[in-house]
Each structure stands twice: as structure tokens, then as C-alpha cells.
């Protein structure tokens, strides 16, 4: 295949997952953190199969042959993806069995197998089986393929092969789905500090209890992944919530796109399952080790093994936020920029909670895409409505894999008299914005929060994201117009400062890139710096190529997918791309354009992908406040000096570790950002201790 101007989206994503797997194999990372990275790679692959591979399967099944921008047909992509995934799975289990398991065993953290147990341990597990497991799980006999039960997506399941009944020739089969809140790892009293056993091994040990008087020939764990790429006919639906509930049920019956099964499975059992599930060899993965590595995330947090985990980096209180002062007074004084998780998310939650209880607050308008299980923000919105405030929540029901939770939140908010909007027809609302309308002495004032991440205080401690809080009048006007457009029938208005997808964001980005291109052609300095999760959009990539050819220096920090080929002579020699995978998920979108020396800086909810720019409601927010503007540039600079976790994208799609200059100290960007946040917090505390604050009379005017 000739070299394309672009890298393939699916293969680029797999290279991202490889960078996560590299952290699992990195001996400089603590052992339980390495196990966590391994679990993340498995969880990532689960979603990849459900969505991306599922989509390719549909295209192939329906005979689509249209090539992607790299010239690959769906079948060619599926073939290459399968080959790459098989190598990745092999690398996963090599890492687990040759490095992690032995290393953890040396520390007393041991996975026990049935052959390792003594009589006392077997008796203890037998008691556990009789008391907890025997009655909980139910075997289902399968006499014919047509009677095969509807298995839950990615549910660990046991297949049992039994000897033929008297007078019959064919083996019989039964399946035992391990449903419910599965305690996968059973602690076993042993000479080790932490001995545990997988639940499927416990069941295998006592499988005869389920089949008294029968000859059990084989016990094999397996797991399926279904196509979860569902569609909703919004235009034909009078009730989107009901349509979404129906779509969730349809997802449970999606075609099987992957069968994972123990590599020791017999040919008879494998053929039985492949036929029953309609799975071909290409979609079958024989696994030499425990299935569902994603579930090992729970083990990584086991207490008592702190030496095998990262040292704590607690989020720091922001020096810009006085916890004794109302958030409205703080924001009125200065715009606030927070960089999570180095700085705490508390001010964002407090902003909304104060609004819920403040008698001067008239209205709250907020978008919600993904929230935590027990969201204090959703609780605050309910309380605000109960307190008589006008509360509007645009709750995106189509947020993939969070649909069920959002449906539940929508019903609860409606019960509290919150005006709930289920999103915009034909689009996903991915913008992160909250507007609070407050009555003050000088009149009505609007306070805004714009973010690059979800309103989720749990993930805010794990994802790097920007929060920008302001009462800028122009942004307030734009924010009101934005909500009027997405919650009613108002035509989108010309914004003063914001840009929104899908009505103008791509055009604005291309315009900003073209300004740099023109500056370079005129012999003027030109520079673009962008930190994103993904870069896929061909139109933007082409604009960057043109800028590079004009001489614009372009630095891209792309955590995940990147379809741009950097460093190609005559095409992209002025473009460099790096990716950072570390303890925090890099999630912030920050953009910088030199702009003839005026230095434009933006934050955004959108990655540079067709889905974000064409099929989602997104925001691009300029940050003009002098201090916040400078801070964002400083954050960007730190992200490009990493020589510990950064990897550079090569023109062939591979990645190479970034090396420091000779004699230079290695720098971890995340460690530096945490140290800077901690130092700023200490300096602010010292400043407070050296200030004298007089007590004044209650009626004092001075």
C-alpha cells in the first residue's frame, strides 16, 4: 500500500493502547500501578471491540467497500486490526505472567490455583462455595444451538461439557453465567501476605456439585463482546427517553464481535460455542491466562501494599480561591483558572452548591454529559429547583455507556421540577458549561464555568482538565444565547467570543491556522501549539500541512489518536507530535496561536475529529484574562518538555521515547505540574500567615 497523507484511525488508536501497555511493562512504575495500566489496556480493548470493531463488522456484513482516507476498505481495516490486536493480547499476557505475577509474588501478593491448595484451604473454599456460590449461579443446559441463552455482553461465563447421556452419542453442554456484582477475587488464607483465587477457579474446583451423577468432561471460562454501536431514530421518536431505553435493550442483543476463551479449550467445545454464537475464527481469541483483565483494576487498589503503588499526589487547594469567601465574590474579583487534578475540583462543586442555596440566584443552566454515581452537582441542581430557582439541565442521554445512568438522573431531576432537556436532535451535546444568573445591587449578573472535562468530581481526580470561571459580560451574553439555541427553537446567533460546533467551530479553527500560514508566508513569526486527545479531521490536518509547508512551527500534544503524519519532507517537516501517558489521563484541550504577537489562547470541549466538529455540540472558549492566559501558556510549555513519559510520533505511525538533550535532567511533566501546584499552595499559605487582619466593628464602613 502506498504511503497515505494520513494514518489510519483504528491503527492509531491501537498504538495509543500500546503506549498504555508500555506503562504496564515499565519497570520504573510500581507493580500494582503496572497492573492498573494492564487493566486499562483490557478495558480500552473491550470498548474498542464493542464500538470500532463492531462498526467495521457492520460495514463488512452489509458489503460496504468505500475506503477510508488512508485507502483501506472496511475488510482491510478489520484484517489489519485483528492482526495487531492478537499481538497486543499476546503482549498483555506475557507482561502479566512473566513480569507482574512473579514480581507481585515476591511481595507476597499471590494468585493461587487449584493445584497450589492444601487440604485446609480446599475445605475453606468448599465452605465458601456452599454458603455463597452454589445457590447464586445457575447452570443452563443447552440441548440445541437454537436454545442457546442470550448472554450478557462481556459477562464471564463457564461452559461445561458433559459426557453423553445413556443411549446417546453426542456430548452435552451447559453454561453458567457469572452475573451480578461479581467478587472475582476470593481471598484465601495462606502463608502469603495476600493470597487470592479467581472465582472461576473456585467454581471449577467444585463443578461436580452442579452436576451430581454426571461425568464432567471439561470446564472452560469464556466471554463475549457484542456490537454496541447503536443508533436512535430521533426524528421518528416522540419520546427520546423511551427510545433510548429501547436502544439499550437492543444493545444487549447485538451481534457477537469477539469470543475470548481459555486456550486449553477442546475442539468440540470451541466448535459448539462458535456455532451457537455465530463467531468465526477471525473473531475468536484463545487466551493463555485469566480472562477479563479489566477486572484486575480492583486488585491494584488493595490496601497494605502502598510500597507497590504511587506516592500520593493529593489535589491542592487553589491559591486563587479563598475558601472563606463566596465563590461569587471570588469570581467577581478575578477570573479563575484551575488545572485538575493538580488543583482541587472543590471550587466547581462549591460554585453550584452555593448557587443552589443563595437567595439571590435566579437561575442555573447546565450541560451534563457524564456524572459520578452519587453526583453532588446533580443533588445541588435538584435542591436549587426545590428552593424555587429556575433550573435547566441539558442531560445528554446519548453519552455512550452512560445512557442508563443519565436516564435515571433525568427522571430524578424531572421529579424535582428541573427543566430537563434530553439533548439536541441528531447531535450529542458534549459542551461543558454552567451559567448562574444572580440578582445583585448593580443588576443581573451572569457567572460562568467552562470546562474541558465532565462535571464529575470522581474523574476530576484522575483526568487532567481545565476549569475556567468568569463573569465576563460578553461570554455571559454568548452563554445565554448558546442555551437559548440548544434548549429551544432559537436560531443560533452570532457569538461575541465563543465558537460552537457544528455551526462554526471548524471554520474558526481553520481560520486561525490560515492566519498563521499567511504570517509565515510574509516572513513573520508564526506558531501553533495544541494539546488534544485526538486529531482525525482531514480538513484540519490538511490546513496544518499547508501551514507547515509555509514555515509555521507546529507543536502538537495528542494523547490518543493522531492521523496526521509529522516530519514528512515537503508535507509536514515543521510539525512535531508527542503523546504523554502517565498516572493521570491527559484530557485537557488547550490551543495557542501566535497570531502576529497577540497570542490567542483557547480551551475547548472538542477534539479535532469529524464527530466532534460535525455531530456534536461543542464549545471553543477564548481565555483573555491576563493571568489565566499566561497560566495556560505555561501549562502548554510544561507538556512539551517531558522527557520521562513523552513519546514522539514518527512519520510511519510508530512512537519513540523522547530523549532529553545531552546532560539535561529528565523531566516528568505531571510531576512538575504537581510540584508547581503544591509550591503555589505553600507560598499562598505563608503569605496568609504573614498578613495582619484587623477585626472591624460590624457597622464599620471602612
Rounded CA gap, 436 and 392, in Å?
A: 11
- Beta strands 433-440 and 443-451, pairing class: antiparallel
DSSP 372-410: -TT-HHHHHHHHHHHTT-EEEEEE-TTSTT-HHHHHHHH
Helix (H, G, I), strand (E, B) or coil at 332: helix
Rounded CA gap, 531 and 606, in Å?
A: 11
- Is residue 319 within 8 Å of residue 452, measured between CB atoms? no
DSSP 6-72: B--HHHHHHHHHHHHHHHHT-TTS-HHHHHHHHHHHHHHHHHHIIIIIHHHHHHHHTT-----TTS-
Rounded CA gap, 229 and 55, in Å?
A: 6
- Is residue 279 within 8 Å of residue 259, measured between CB atoms? yes
Lookup: cell for 52: 470500532
593 has which bridge partners? 528, 600
Lookup: cell for 666: 529528565
Lookup: cell for 654: 510508530
Query: Does 263 participate in catalysis according to the annotation?
Result: no
16-51 burial code (b ≥16 CB/10 A, e <16): bbbbbbbbbbeeebbbbbbbbbbbbbbbbbbbbbbb
Q: Which of 194, 430, 449, 629 is catalytic?
A: 430
- The DSSP secondary-structure symbol of 661 reads P
Nearest to 12 by CA among 464, 548, 545, 564: 564
- Is residue 353 within 8 Å of residue 376, measured between CB atoms? yes
Nearest 10 degrees: Cα torsion 507, 509, 512, 515: -60
Residues with catalytic roles = 430
Amino acid at each position: 500500500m502506498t504511503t497515505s497523507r494520513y494514518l489510519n484511525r483504528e491503527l492509531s488508536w491501537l498504538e495509543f493502547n500500546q503506549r498504555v501497555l508500555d506503562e504496564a511493562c515499565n519497570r520504573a512504575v510500581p507493580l500494582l500501578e503496572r497492573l492498573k495500566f494492564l487493566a486499562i489496556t483490557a478495558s480500552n480493548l473491550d470498548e474498542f471491540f464493542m464500538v470500532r470493531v463492531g462498526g467495521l463488522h457492520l460495514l463488512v456484513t452489509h458489503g460496504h467497500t468505500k475506503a477510508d482516507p488512508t485507502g483501506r476498505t472496511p475488510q482491510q481495516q478489520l484484517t489489519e486490526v485483528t492482526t495487531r490486536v492478537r499481538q497486543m493480547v499476546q503482549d498483555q499476557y506475557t507482561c502479566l505472567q512473566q513480569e507482574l505475577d512473579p514480581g507481585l509474588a515476591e511481595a507476597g501478593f499471590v494468585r493461587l490455583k487449584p493445584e497450589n491448595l492444601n487440604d485446609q484451604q480446599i475445605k475453606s473454599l468448599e465452605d465458601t462455595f456452599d454458603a455463597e456460590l452454589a445457590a447464586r449461579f445457575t447452570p443452563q443446559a443447552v440441548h440445541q444451538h437454537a436454545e442457546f441463552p442470550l448472554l450478557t455482553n462481556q459477562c464471564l461465563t463457564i461452559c461445561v461439557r458433559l459426557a453423553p447421556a445413556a443411549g446417546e452419542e453426542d456430548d452435552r453442554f451447559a453454561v453458567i453465567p457469572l452475573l451480578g456484582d461479581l467478587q472475582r477475587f476470593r481471598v484465601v488464607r495462606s502463608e502469603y501476605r495476600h493470597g487470592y483465587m479467581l472465582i472461576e477457579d473456585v467454581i471449577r474446583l467444585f463443578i461436580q456439585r452442579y452436576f451430581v451423577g454426571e461425568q464432567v468432561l471439561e470446564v472452560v471460562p469464556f466471554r463475549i463482546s457484542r456490537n454496541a454501536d447503536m443508533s436512535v431514530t430521533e426524528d421518528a421518536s416522540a419520546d427520546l427517553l423511551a427510545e433510548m431505553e429501547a436502544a439499550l435493550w437492543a444493545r444487549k442483543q447485538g451481534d457477537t464481535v469477539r469470543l475470548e476463551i481459555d486456550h486449553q479449550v477442546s475442539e468440540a467445545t470451541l466448535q459448539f460455542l462458535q456455532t451457537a454464537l455465530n463467531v468465526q475464527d477471525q473473531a475468536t481469541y484463545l487466551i493463555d491466562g485469566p480472562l477479563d483483565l479489566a477486572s484486575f483494576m480492583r486488585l491494584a487498589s488493595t490496601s497494605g501494599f502502598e510500597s507497590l503503588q504511587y506516592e500520593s499526589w493529593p489535589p491542592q487547594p487553589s491559591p486563587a480561591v479563598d475558601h472563606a469567601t463566596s465563590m461569587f465574590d471570588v469570581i467577581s474579583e478575578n477570573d479563575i483558572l484551575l488545572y485538575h487534578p493538580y488543583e482541587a475540583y472543590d471550587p466547581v462543586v462549591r460554585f453550584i452548591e452555593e448557587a443552589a442555596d443563595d437567595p439571590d440566584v435566579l437561575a442555573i443552566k447546565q450541560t451534563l454529559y457524564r456524572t459520578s454515581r452519587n453526583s453532588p452537582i446533580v443533588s445541588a441542581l435538584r435542591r436549587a429547583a426545590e428552593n424555587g430557582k429556575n433550573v435547566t439541565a441539558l442531560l445528554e442521554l446519548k453519552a455512550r455507556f452512560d445512557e442508563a445512568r443519565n436516564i435515571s438522573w433525568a427522571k430524578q431531576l424531572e421529579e424535582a421540577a428541573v427543566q430537563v432537556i434530553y439533548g439536541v436532535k441528531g447531535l450529542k451535546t458534549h459542551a461543558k458549561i454552567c451559567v448562574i444568573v444572580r440578582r445583585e445591587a448593580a443588576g443581573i449578573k451572569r457567572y460562568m464555568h467552562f470546562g474541558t472535562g465532565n462535571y464529575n468530581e470522581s474523574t476530576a481526580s484522575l483526568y487532567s482538565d481545565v476549569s475556567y470561571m468568569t463573569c465576563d459580560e460578553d461570554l455571559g451574553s454568548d452563554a445565554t444565547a448558546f442555551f437559548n439555541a440548544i434548549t429551544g427553537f432559537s436560531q443560533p446567533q452570532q457569538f461575541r467570543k465563543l465558537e460552537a460546533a457544528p455551526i462554526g467551530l471548524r471554520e474558526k479553527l481553520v481560520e486561525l491556522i490560515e492566519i498563521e500560514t499567511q504570517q509565515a508566508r510574509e516572513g513573520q513569526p508564526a506558531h501553533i501549539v495544541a494539546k488534544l486527545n485526538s486529531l482525525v479531521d482531514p480538513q484540519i490536518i490538511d490546513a496544518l500541512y499547508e501551514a507547515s509547508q509555509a514555515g509555521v512551527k507546529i507543536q502538537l500534544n495528542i494523547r490518543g489518536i493522531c492521523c496526521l503524519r509529522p516530519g514528512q519532507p515537503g508535507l509536514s517537516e515543521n510539525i512535531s507530535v508527542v503523546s504523554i501517558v502517565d498516572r493521570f489521563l491527559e484530557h485537557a484541550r488547550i490551543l495557542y496561536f501566535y497570531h502576529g504577537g497577540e497570542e490567542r489562547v483557547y480551551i475547548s470541549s472538542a477534539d479535532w475529529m469529524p464527530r466532534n466538529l460535525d455531530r456534536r455540540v461543542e464549545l471553543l472558549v477564548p481565555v483573555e484574562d491576563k493571568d489565566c492566559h499566561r497560566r495556560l501558556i505555561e501549562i502548554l510549555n510544561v507538556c512539551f518538555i517531558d522527557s520521562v513519559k513523552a513519546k514522539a510520533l514518527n512519520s510511519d505511525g510508530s512512537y519513540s521515547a523522547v530523549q532529553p538533550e545531552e546532560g539535561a535532567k529528565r523531566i516528568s511533566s505531571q510531576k512538575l505540574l504537581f510540584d508547581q501546584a503544591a509550591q503555589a499552595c505553600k507560598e499562598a499559605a505563608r503569605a496568609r500567615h504573614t498578613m495582619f487582619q484587623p477585626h472591624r466593628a460590624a457597622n464599620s464602613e471602612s
